[in-house]
Amino acid sequence: MKSKNTLTKALLYITILIFFLYNNNFSQNTSFFAFSFGKFNALEKDIGVLESGIELRANITDFLTLNQIIGIMTTSKMSNYIYLGLCKDINFDSYFITPSFAIGLYEKGGGKDLGNHLEFRSQVEISYIIKKGLRVGVSFNHISNGGFADYNPGAESISFFWILY
């Protein structure tokens, strides 16, 4: 039964990703990819749990210059998180500070139990333009179920990332 559940979730994740890939916002020149690699549960003594992720971002409004994000994160203990959210690039010449917020589905796999499948992620990034079309930086995020479950330990991550645009 567990393998059927995993297959159903994987198909749901792929369907959501395909929907966003073919959304008109993502077909414009304002879309870009962010790739990350770092430490999951970074503030705890649980050493050796690495994470990697990919995000697709697209500008959805000129009013606040918000970017729509969809992403997938996985850990070395096979925990997975797929999420949707918003971020805002705040530009300081060649530097950017980017706060973001997302909601998503978390599967603990062999990793940390966060108390619920529905989890929220808040994140801040600091990045620098290396050359046209490439930014690199560091991010810090917190994932939590926001008290929607009785058990809510949360997890923090520190990651290095690069953005191709």
| pTM of this structure | 0.81
Residue 131's domain comprises: 2-164
Are residues 158 and 139 in contact, defined by beta-carbon separation less than 8 angstroms?
yes
**Pairwise CA distance, residues 33 & 46, whole Å:** 29
Residue 36, pLDDT score: 97
pLDDT attached to residue 12: 61
Dump pLDDT digits (tens) for 112-129.
999 999 999 999 999 999
73: left (phi over 0), alpha (psi -120 to 50) or beta: beta
Which long-range CB contacts under 8 A does 59-63 form with residues at least 24 apart?
Answer: 59/25, 59/28, 59/30, 59/31, 60/25
Asked if 164 and 56 count as a contact pair (C-beta separation under 8 A), the reply is no
CATH number for the domain spanning 43: value is 2.40.160.20
Residue 145's pLDDT is 95
Q: How many domains are contained in the chain?
A: 1
Which residues partner with 12 through β-bridges?
none
Check: CB of residue 111 under 8 Å from CB of residue 73.
no
pLDDT of residue 26: 45
Q: Which residues of the chain have pLDDT under 70?
A: 1-29, 46, 60-64
Quote the pLDDT of residue 92.
Answer: 93
